């Protein structure tokens, strides 16, 4: 039990290690409600996370549904299926989710990414990328990339919009700056709308971007890639745990239910397989007879690497479930939580990469051991059968 408690704490700590080394609150539960204010920063994870008490520092929340319904004195970062912020954030706010709703003042910068995004804040700088985007006023510059973009309210700075479908300005929209947009067709600007510094429509035809625009597109592309990649690995891990629960449970039990020495042996086995297999494949390739076997082995090796990474997320979820939630059974929800934590851990320089690599090797070694026993294990004979 102590082994995966330590592993669970390390996984959560690695996500936030670069941002703060001071005292902090780490909480993880299936349904988590923060009803008492922590002393320092708060790092929260769970299927449903609700912040109902004011936070004196920064907050990082990850889960299925995230609701920040109390003031945040520092920065806020949230990642989940549904993200809602209804109380003021004194610092910067970053949020990623399928549905993101911001309806509170933000003193710092605001950066959002999601399928459906609604933002009504006073942020000094707003950057949004998504599908359907509704921006209801802002305290500074606004840059939006989306399919359908709707503007309303009062904007204190310049507004730049790139809409693959259409841009719509609602009645009474006020922009105390300029509006520059690119869309397949010109937007109908209501008579009640006011744009102080005029409108620039670049049109839907292709054009050579400036250096600043190219950098903006690169950042937007990287954001989309990040969002698609993390959603893909979360879905893949959930499918593996949901469709093959017995195998996922076996991997978690063999890797986490034994001694630390057993875990280290699995890591060494995974290390040997990962680095020795390419050498063996190369030897087969240089021999005419072994070319067919080499290509087959290469395909299996690629599949093993992919499964090793995905089951590393399953192991992370199982470690969090056993160490912090007292849950022995591996579920698809734990797989999603573990994959999300593992992905965030992987973004931490050096320490995060090492932890991710160790879990990957442990998962790979466990998969190889289970496969070996399944293929070459002896069948127990039933003495009752002649």
**Where is average pLDDT lowest: 46-55, 81-90, 197-206, 242-251?**
197-206
With 0-12 CB in 10 A as exposed, 13-18 as middle and 19+ as buried, what is 170?
middle
Buried b (16+ CB within 10 A) or exposed e, 256-271: beeeeeebeebbebbb
Residue 125 in tokens: 């700088």
111: closest CA among 95, 97, 99? 95
pLDDT at 31: 74
Question: Has residue 19 been placed in a domain?
Answer: no
Residues 47 and 193 in one domain: yes
Asked whether residue 17 is domain-assigned, the answer is no
State the average pLDDT for the chain. 82
Q: Which of 154, 183, 210 is the last residue of a domain?
A: 210
At residue 269, the 3 state secondary structure works out as helix
Specify whether 172 is located in the same domain as 219.
Answer: no
Q: Is the pLDDT of residue 127 over 70?
A: yes
Tokens 């429509």 belong to 201
Tell me whether residue 155 is in a domain: yes
List for the chain the helix, strand, coil content (%; round to 5). Answer: 40, 30, 30
Same-domain status, 167 and 238 = no
| 31 plus 120 within the same structural domain | yes
Q: Copy the structure tokens of residue 197.
A: 């510094």
Say how far apart CA 257 and CA 367 lie, in whole Å.
15
Is residue 160 situated within a structural domain?
A: yes
Pair 228, 278 in one domain: yes
Residues 224 and 246 in one domain: yes
**Do 240 and 176 have their domain in common?**
no
One domain for residues 221 and 368? yes
Query: Could you tell me the two tokens for 148?
Result: 């359908």
Domain final position from 210, 228, 249? 210
Residues 110, 127: contact at Cβ < 8 Å?
A: yes
DSSP annotation of 56? S
| pLDDT tens, residue by residue, 197-238 | 999 988 754 444 555 666 677 777 767 777 777 888 888 888
**CA atoms 131, 136, 137, 138: torsion sign:** negative
Q: Give which of 344, 336, 320 is closest to 15, Cα–Cα.
A: 344
Q: Quick one: pLDDT at residue 169? A: 93
- Whether 275 is in a domain gets the answer yes
Residue 2 has pLDDT above 70, yes or no: no
- Decide if 386 is inside a domain: no
CA pseudo-torsion sign 309, 257, 328, 33: negative
Claim to verify: residue 162 and residue 254 sit in the same structural domain: no
Q: Which of 164, 186, 210 is the last residue of a domain?
A: 210
CA dist 160 and 143 (Å) reads 5
| Same domain? 342 vs 284 | yes
Beta-carbon contacts of 257 under 8 Å, excluding residues fewer than 6 positions away, are none
Same domain assignment for residues 203 and 243: no
pLDDT at site 382: 44
Residue 20: the pLDDT is: 39
Q: Of 35-39, 57-61, 152-156, where does mean pLDDT reach its minimum?
A: 35-39
Per the structure, the complete domain to which residue 230 belongs is given by 215-373
Question: Distance between CA atoms of 364 and 306, rounded to whole angstroms?
Answer: 9
Alpha-helical regions (H) of the chain: 2-16, 211-243, 245-256, 260-286, 291-324, 332-346, 351-376
Instruction: Report percent pLDDT > 70 for the chain.
Output: 85
The long-range contacts involving 244-252, CB below 8 angstroms and separated by at least 24 positions, are 245/330, 245/331, 247/370, 248/311, 248/314, 248/330, 248/335, 249/329, 249/330, 250/370, 251/311, 251/314, 251/315, 251/363, 251/366, 251/367, 251/370, 252/314, 252/315, 252/318, 252/330
Residue 4, pLDDT above cutoff 60: no
d(CA 266, CA 260): 10
Total domains in the fold of the chain:
2
How far does CA 227 lie from the centroid of its chain? 7
- Say which range, 14-18, 246-250, 328-332, has the weakest mean pLDDT: 14-18
Domain presence at residue 6: no
Per-residue pLDDT, averaged over 317-323, amounts to 84
14 assigned to some structural domain = no
pLDDT digits (tens, 9 = 90+) for 228-257: 778 888 888 888 888 888 998 888 888 887
Statement to judge: residues 271 and 333 lie in one domain: yes
What is the pLDDT, as a whole number, of residue 11?
53
* Interstrand relation of 41-51 and 31-34 (parallel, antiparallel or unpaired): parallel
């Amino acid at each position: 039990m102590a082994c995966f408690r330590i592993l669970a704490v390390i996984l959560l700590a690695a996500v936030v290690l670069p941002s703060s080394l001071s005292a902090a609150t780490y909480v993880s539960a299936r349904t988590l409600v923060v009803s008492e204010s922590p002393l320092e920063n708060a790092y929260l994870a769970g299927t449903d996370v609700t912040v109902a008490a004011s936070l004196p520092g920064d907050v990082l929340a990850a889960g299925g549904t995230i609701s920040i319904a109390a003031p945040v004195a520092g920065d806020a970062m949230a990642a989940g299926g549904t993200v809602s912020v209804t109380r003021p954030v004194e610092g910067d706010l970053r949020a990623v989710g399928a549905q993101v709703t911001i309806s509170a003042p933000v003193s710092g910068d605001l950066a959002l990414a999601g399928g459906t995004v609604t933002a009504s804040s006073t942020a000094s700088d707003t950057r949004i990328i998504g599908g359907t985007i509704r921006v209801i006023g802002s305290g500074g510059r606004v840059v939006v990339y989306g399919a359908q973009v709707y503007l309303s309210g009062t904007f204190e700075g310049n507004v730049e919009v790139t809409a693959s479908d259409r841009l719509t300005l609602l009645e009474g929209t006020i922009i105390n700056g300029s509006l520059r947009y690119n869309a397949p067709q010109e937007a109908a600007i209501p008579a009640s709308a006011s744009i102080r510094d005029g409108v620039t429509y670049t049109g839907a035809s292709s054009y050579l971007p400036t250096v600043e625009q190219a950098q903006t597109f690169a950042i937007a592309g990287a954001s989309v890639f990040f969002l698609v990649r993390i959603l893909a690995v979360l879905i893949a891990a959930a499918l593996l745990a949901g469709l093959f629960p017995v195998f996922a449970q076996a991997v978690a039990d063999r890797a986490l239910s034994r001694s630390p020495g057993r875990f280290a042996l699995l890591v060494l086995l995974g290390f040997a397989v990962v680095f020795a297999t390419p050498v063996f494949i190369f030897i087969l390739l240089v021999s005419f007879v072994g070319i067919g076997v080499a290509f087959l082995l290469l395909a299996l090796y690629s599949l093993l690497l992919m499964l090793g990474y995905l089951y590393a997320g399953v192991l992370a979820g199982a470690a969090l479930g056993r160490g912090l939630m007292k849950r022995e059974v591996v579920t698809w929800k734990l797989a999603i939580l573990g994959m999300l934590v593992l992905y965030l851990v992987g973004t931490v320089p050096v320490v995060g990469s090492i932890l991710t690599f160790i879990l990957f090797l442990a998962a790979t070694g466990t998969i190889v051991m289970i496969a070996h026993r399944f293929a070459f294990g002896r069948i127990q004979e039933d003495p009752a059968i002649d």
